[in-house]
A and B are shown apart, each in its own frame.
Chain A
Amino acid sequence: MNHPTEAVDPNRAAAPEAIVPEPQNTTPCTTSDPVIVVRDATATLGARPVLRGVDLTVRRGEVVALLGANGSGKSTAVRSVIGQVPLTGGTVELFGTPLRRFRDWARVGYVPQRTTAAGGVPATIREVVSSGRLSRTRLGLPRKADRAAVDRAIALVGLADRAKDSVDALSGGQHQRVLIARALASEPELLIMDEPMAGVDLASQEILAETLREQVALGTTVLLVLHELGPLEPLIDRAVVLRDGCVMHDGPPPKALGQHALPGHDHVHPHAASEPVRTGLLS
């Protein structure tokens, strides 16, 4: 599984500085057209306040990373944007419409934090990705264009040859790619992703980063929760850092976190020992 990545990794480990200074080469200039506006959002889980007055604006074409430690409220913040966590105060607007009245869900592609996306019954990659298209077909029948969009989404994440395989037979990273294809099936203008890189092998990380790069180049707006910037760092226009349910930083990706999250500092070290080139550099 890891073989293809060995081709990529030595370059990244040898010259991390070369990657950092060109963060915005593909993103179009941001306009003042806000896609997501969160104002003074508060939310509680049980009695514990999870969000304590969060402000967050994402403009069209922007790629915004929501960073923070475990329990800082980043997942809750993102889930409140799509209405899956009720706010106790504050407002959320999507595409200029208050969340309560927002119905145009085909414009939003959502990638949940990977849990058990496999149900109790076998399902193929194609069947799972097709359900992402329901935001356009709703209760109607899928047409030719809908099937084509599903095929395109599966091809985008590099799983075209496995479309008829059961999702149970996939690795964690491949599973994540299926969830992203499902979000892309509706051809959304806004992608919301909750920890898309968590537990994903390096081969899949590269494919995910490439997929995302293509979407951003096409003008898709992205809001994603990340534990660390990792291979997505060059794509990110702005980072919002949460701590204890408050925004601590809103601007360019912070230095400390950036260094911490460089590819060389990857938390997954699948072939540190078996990589002859890297051992040579260290010794």
Chain B
Amino acid sequence: MEFLTPPFMQRALIAAVLVGVIAPAVGIYLVQRRQALMGDGIGHIAMTGVGLGFLLSTSPVWMATAVAVVGAVTMELIRWYGRTRGDIALAMLFYGGMAGGVLLINLSDTGSNANLTSYLFGSLSTVSSEDITAIAVLAAFVLLVTVGLRRQLFAVSQDEEFARVTGLPVRVLNLLIAVTAAVTVTVAMRVVGLLLVSALMVVPVAAAQQITRSFKVTFVLSVVTGVAVTLAGTITSYYQDVPPGATIVLLAIGVFIALTLLAAPLARIRARRRETADERCTLEVPATRPAADDAPVRPV
């Protein structure tokens, strides 16, 4: 437990746990809506926010949050109105955001590509106590939305048209998912970096659903997976000289592979259990023939 002593490590671990909880909690709704790569898009857009933060000498984290929220809402609006070539519009947003970030950070006096790298791939060891406060506040918001409104968000993500006919405020809920995803991206930016943040939102969910049958269990298991890999990755990076972000993502993929291998035998066991219940379907031919029917009976 020696890794708990240095203060920077304590902060890193708190940040890691919070991100491990909230990234899959939002990601599960994105996966359910088959928008698994939305987090990646928001990450690209957030780059412009980071660049803007350096240029204006304000906090890159808050600037990235603001820009990511605007970007996520724009993506949601494109999904509503621009049905025809939505993918092209999204591509513009993603790459525009990335290019804008690189340009702005090089225009600023303090920023450089080296600074940019720490946002692209995360820099857990430089998390300050103010960062921890910001991360905790944002994580609380994300948890409140994703857990408190889980029934409504489930319905909207499962079948949007049906959700509209139940009278739910579908547009507001969609925007809420977009904003929550944007907040999560910027929170996770410090831990795994903008380029890998989407992995932490999607891979734990993909891993969990290999062996689950219900949404509830998938939710819990993907959060447990998220926390386990962020903690394990952070601790590994303390002892071995490896970048935490990449370690966390590779660990998550490892869990995915392990659970996928476990899925086949598990499905076999479940199928066998169901078969034993259904096995006895007897042929009811003699009993069900109408009495008046003279049709010749063939041996079955």
Contact = CB atoms under 8 A, between A and B. Distances in A.
Interface in B8-24: none
A135 B165 CA distance: 8
B152 A134 contact: yes
B158 interface: yes
11 contacts: A117-B159, A120-B32, A121-B215, A122-B212, A124-B213, A131-B151, A131-B155, A134-B152, A138-B167, A276-B295, A276-B300
A108 interface: yes
A175 to B, nearest CB: 12
A164 B217 CA distance: 12
A134 B165 contact: no
B65 interface: no
Contact size range, A = 35 or more
Interface string A253-283: 0000000000000000000000011011100
B166 A134 contact: yes
A110 B166 CA distance: 8
B213 A120 contact: no
Contacts of B159: 112, 117, 119, 131
A36 to B, nearest CB: 14
Interface stretch (A6-14, A50-58, A151-159): A6-14
A105 B167 contact: yes
A123 interface: yes
Contact of B33 (A120, A124, A137): A120
A276 B285 CA distance: 9
Contacts of A139: 149, 152
B230 interface: no
B208 to A, nearest CB: 9
Contacts of A11: 290
B296 A123 contact: no
Contacts of A103: 167
Contacts of A3: 281, 283-284
A124 B213 CA distance: 6
Nearest to A3: B281
Given A119-B158, A122-B209, A134 B32 contact: no
A142 B151 contact: yes
Contacts of B165: 82-84, 105, 108, 110, 135
Contact of A119 (B32, B149, B288, B294): B32
Given A120-B36, A280-B295, 5 more contacts: A14-B293, A119-B158, A121-B209, A131-B155, A135-B165
Nearest to A11: B290
A135 B290 contact: no
Interface string B274-295: 0000000101110111100111
Given A103-B167, A121-B205, A134 B285 contact: no
A127 interface: yes
B268 to A, nearest CB: 14
Contacts of A134: 151-152, 155, 163, 166, 168
B227 to A, nearest CB: 19
Contact of B284 (A7, A83, A123, A165): A7
A122 B155 CA distance: 13
B162 interface: yes
B240 interface: no
Nearest to A132: B166
A131 B161 contact: no
B85 interface: no
A102 B69 CA distance: 32
Contacts of A123: 154, 158, 214-215
Contacts of A124: 213-215
A128 B216 CA distance: 12
A142 B212 CA distance: 24
B28 interface: yes
Contacts of B293: 10, 14, 277, 280-281
